[in-house]
Amino acid sequence: MKNYFLVLVSFLFAFSTVKAQDIYIAPTASIGFFSATSMENIDAKTKEASAAINVKTKKIFFKVKNTSFIFKSSLMQEHFNENYMESEKFPFTQFNGEIVDAPNQDFTKDGAYEVTVKGKMTLHGVEKEYTTKGSIVVKDGKIRAQAKFNIKMEDHKIKIPSVVGANIAEQVEVNVDATFEPQKK
């Protein structure tokens, strides 16, 4: 997990000259997804995602190990990693973006903000741009960011065999919830 922080902080420093106090990290961000069909619902979550936000430049980064998602059924988890995500070949999913509609917002001050995030997600080895609405709540020096958006499997070349096609939705709802704290110096 410590390696994630190095990657996150390195990424944020690489694209701008920033001070350490501008970087907030979320070592245990939560990401979940939900697929609903008439046959069955598929629900998986992880609390092992890592994330960072630069409060000055508004750049944001998430990275999650695909095998960290937990399903209700171990068979679903096995199929997810081996057949769909090909987690051995594509071990991580990441998002690299920025908050585009709050250039002058000070995310170090308490308050609640509706934001738009735009960036590129690399999932299953395929990079695609996404824009989504989210919320940020700043309280007592911590930043909580939440967003909900949809991903189409075909956009990331994730093949669903016709045998199980009725069990897996073509579009999956993704929920992100991260609480960021200032990077320790």
The DSSP result for 162-184, as a single string, is GGGGGGS-SEEEEEEEEEEEEPP
Of the pLDDT bands very low, low, confident and very high (cuts 50, 70, 90), residue 6 is very low
Of the pLDDT bands very low, low, confident and very high (cuts 50, 70, 90), residue 7 is low
Name the least confident of 27-36, 93-102, 167-176: 167-176
> Whole-angstrom Cα distance, residue 37 to residue 108?
41
pLDDT 10s digits, 22-32: 999 998 899 99
Instruction: Decide if pLDDT at 161 tops 70.
Output: no
Instruction: Decide if pLDDT at 12 tops 50.
Output: no
Would you state the pLDDT for residue 185? 65
What is the 8-class DSSP label of residue 68? G
Instruction: Decide if pLDDT at 5 tops 70.
Output: no
Instruction: Decide if pLDDT at 19 tops 80.
Output: no
Mean pLDDT, rounded, for 91-97 = 97
Mean pLDDT, rounded, for 166-178 = 84
Would you state the pLDDT for residue 42? 85
Which option is the CATH number for 2-182: 2.40.128.110, 3.30.465.10, 2.60.40.10, 3.90.1150.10?
2.40.128.110
pLDDT 10s digits, 33-82: 998 876 778 899 999 999 999 999 999 999 999 999 999 989 889 988 99
Would you state the pLDDT for residue 103? 78
Using a CB cutoff of 8 Å and minimum separation of 24, what contacts does 88-93 make? Answer: 89/125, 90/66, 90/123, 90/124, 90/125, 91/65, 91/66, 91/67, 92/63, 92/64, 92/65, 92/66, 92/122, 93/63, 93/64, 93/66, 93/121, 93/122, 93/123, 93/124
Residue ranges of domains in the chain: 2-182
pLDDT 10s digits, 111-133: 999 999 999 999 999 999 999 99
